[in-house]
Chains A and B, each alone.
Chain A
Amino acid sequence: MTGNSLDPYVAAYARRTTGMRASAIRALFAVASRPEVVSLAGGMPYLQSLPLKEIAAQVERLISDEGSVALQYGSGQGIEPLREQICEIMALEGIVAEPDDVVVTVGSQMALDLVTKIFCDPGDVILAEAPSYVGALSVFSAYQTEVVHVAMDDSGLIPEAVEEAIAGCAARGQRVKLLYTIPNFHNPAGVTLSAERRARIAEICRSAGIAVLEDNPYGLLGFDGATHRAIRADDADNVIYLGSFSKTFAPGLRIGWVLAPHAAREKLVLANEAATLNPPVFNQMMISRYLASFDWKSQIKAYRQTYAERRDAMLGALSTHMPDGTRWTVPQGGFYVWLTAPTGLDTSAMLPRAVTARVAYVPGTAFFTDGQGGSQMRLSFCFPTPDRIVEGVRRLGSVIDAEREVHATFGSGMGGPRAAGGIGGATPGVIAGVDAPSPNTA
């Protein structure tokens, strides 16, 4: 008598689905969405400050004036007016580009998927920061690539570590295809790649024949208002640049873009058409009208002020409520603080205690594919109000205290998690898996 596995396709699934399983840790994020819980886990932008009434009026006009175009199929590359506006946005970070080199995508997440699809075969290596964006790691995993993490410090990726990683892969006979980096206000580490290192890393990758995949969703959200010159600005031939409206306007519209050298752009358009036919025309036109009609730069300035206040609230609360031995990064923009718990604590194992105490974070192992990050966590300050952030950090401090007490009980018998080094990490000066909420949403 054969039993029932409840899945008739068990033998039919592709190997890339091996890691697609239920997870007790991920399930805890269902609780994080409740208002009783202070969620420092999700990376949701604070949209309440958008001019919603004016946007609604624009949407109405879009339907009445251009509905037959907005609701129709469109170009696989995206509508030209928006691509022109995207070039103007990228110019703020020193990029000179033509609209023809831009491909609009369903969020920059789709751009990540398309770039990986056209560049990587199973077994190829992608170099990524340690830690790296969980959504990118999911894409890389889906294409069966191997991620080699490269150390960072307060100034971002360490060039010598990039060289070492490339040499190590060569010695093992591995083919490195891409270096994936988030140079500005990194997710999750919160740090920014220095100008000197940008040039150096671009040079290293160019020499090694490795394309740089520059992911820049937070670049305009520097708290001092300054922008950093993009890596792509000085290397048009070897950098593929990803941009997004999710953090500067509205993530629900799912509109991002990829800027790539001409030949790669051709393939990206074909891949985009194969995946989605075209990015949503309505959403593109809506964003185009928003950019043309509103003072969007002032809106971004308002966002910067909002997030700066929240960053300050979080840093102040961390100073007040975290026990000795806890370290964290100090972001100058973006959404995230990367925190290292006192030695020996395992932030994945501690998460149920935190949820019981009604505070949530993302355990550090989510941002690695090799088991690092066990004593670390990502804290988001973008969505909760400052007073909620303070309350959440207070609860987190109590949780860490309680967990430390349990660890003290079991003392040297505890092996401890595999800590990453680095900023706020085990090894001063160097930041050294995937169990996370759906990227940015919990």
Chain B
Amino acid sequence: MTTQHIMVLAGGLSHEREVSLRSGSRLAQALRATGFDVTVRDADSQLLDWVAAHRPDAAVIALHGGRGENGSVQAVLEMTGVPFVGTESRQCRLAWDKPTAKVLLRRASHLTPDWVTLSHNAFRDFGAAGLISALGSRFAFPLVVKPYQGGSALGTVIVHEAGEMPGALVGSLAYGDVLLVERYVAGTEVAVSVIESDDGPIALPPVEIVPSGEFFDYEARYTAGMTTYHTPARLEPELMRAAADLALAAHSELGLRDVSRTDMIVTPSGEVHFLEVNVSPGLTETSMLPMSVTAADRTLGEIYDGLIGRAIGRGR
């Protein structure tokens, strides 16, 4: 049997390029150890020519943010006919857009912190002061401001009082012209990864995240030692089940494929709130999917070996 050639897409031009390069490098290492011939490639203007020339057996997307998660790269791969691990392009659009994903999960009767979606134009046309005041009245402080798309908590701020709002809004709008203002829900932050197998989607052990600072921001995510992770999470059995069920529901309701990671908050009263879902979960040394894989007594190479097999099987 010939060695299968896998293209790992990493890098890209999103704000998360650095994280993606680290994810891609780690995934490539795991796949090579499993026996694949791996090429790590950037998603750039030479991609189509390269794919035409080399025809890899399958692709794995380790791109984060922007075109790596919004369906663009997936659409390109669909047109090339190269089987790939991950969600189809159209569903990526739903998951990538945080307000859309929240609507779909709420429609399926799941909890998610109350929110509004506002563009810069809305603040400009209706008056920033009035809107900020209205936001404070609706949600009370603290509240959360975040870009409506994007990951790694870039541009996300917990705002404690109205005076902090303009700075938070300007900072968040630097990542995109639309943002999400969300009710702050206090509780335990948990990430649950879902992997598909021949037996259907399974939820891996939940990861409980305890950042040393106020919240799980970029610094806390990617500086080893700044956050303590408990895998499996220190939750009562019924809450563990509820967390797993929410991740499986998000995977299903949003039409995701192969792999996803759902971020959620578990409140002291036992409510489980959906925050967002990732169609291309981080695979770095400090990322949660690899922690869950290890806690499940599996390896990253073994998991992706299975997912690559499924992708190639779909392509036949």
Given A27-B218, A30-B17, A414-B170, is A6 in contact with B154 using a C-beta cutoff of 8 Å?
no
Q: How distant is B294 from chain A, measured CB to nearest CB, in Å?
A: 10
> Looking at the complex, which one of B14, B219, B228 makes contact with A24 (CB distance below 8 Å)?
B219
> Looking at the complex, which one of A5, A34, A403, A410 makes contact with B13 (CB distance below 8 Å)?
A34
Given A6-B285, A24-B154, A413-B128, is A1 in contact with B13 using a C-beta cutoff of 8 Å?
no
Q: Is the CB of A22 within 8 A of B230?
A: no
Q: Which residue of B lies closest to A26 (CB)?
A: B18
Say which one of B53-61, B102-110, B171-179, B196-204 lies at the interface with A: B171-179
> Looking at the complex, which one of A21, A31, A350, A405 makes contact with B15 (CB distance below 8 Å)?
A31
Q: How distant is A4 from chain B, measured CB to nearest CB, in Å?
A: 5
Interface class of chain B by DSSP: mixed
Most buried by B among A4, A350, A353: A4
A169 at the interface (CB under 8 A from B): no
Chain B 152-188 interface mask (CB, 8 Å, partner A; 1/0): 1011000000010111011101111000000000000
Complex contacts, B128 vs chain A, CB 8 Å: 409-411, 413
A28 at the interface (CB under 8 A from B): yes
Q: Is the CB of B44 within 8 A of A352?
A: no
Q: Which residue of A lies closest to B228 (CB)?
A: A3
Q: Is the CB of A6 within 8 A of B174?
A: no
Q: Which residue of A lies closest to B225 (CB)?
A: A7
Complex contacts, A411 vs chain B, CB 8 Å: 128-129, 166
Complex contacts, A28 vs chain B, CB 8 Å: 15
A23 at the interface (CB under 8 A from B): yes
A352 to B175 CA separation, bound complex (whole angstroms): 6
B224 at the interface (CB under 8 A from A): yes
A409 to B24 CA separation, bound complex (whole angstroms): 40
A275 at the interface (CB under 8 A from B): no
Given A5-B227, A352-B174, is A37 in contact with B13 using a C-beta cutoff of 8 Å?
yes
Complex contacts, A408 vs chain B, CB 8 Å: 124
B117 at the interface (CB under 8 A from A): no
Complex contacts, B15 vs chain A, CB 8 Å: 24, 27-28, 31, 352, 355-356
Q: Is the CB of B129 within 8 A of A413?
A: yes
* Chain A 1-52 interface residues, beta-carbon cutoff 8 Å to B: 1, 3-7, 9-10, 21-24, 27-28, 30-31, 34, 36-37
Q: How distant is B95 from chain A, measured CB to nearest CB, in Å?
A: 21
A31 to B129 CA separation, bound complex (whole angstroms): 35
Q: Is the CB of A414 within 8 A of B167?
A: yes
Extra A-B contacts (15), CB below 8 Å, given A1-B230, A5-B227, A349-B170:
A3-B208, A3-B230, A21-B226, A27-B218, A31-B13, A34-B44, A349-B167, A349-B174, A351-B174, A352-B174, A353-B174, A406-B174, A410-B128, A413-B165, A413-B166
List 16 A–B pairs whose Cβ atoms lie within 8 Å, in order of A's numbering.
A4-B229, A4-B231, A5-B224, A5-B228, A22-B223, A24-B152, A27-B18, A30-B18, A36-B13, A350-B174, A358-B13, A406-B120, A406-B174, A409-B120, A410-B170, A411-B129
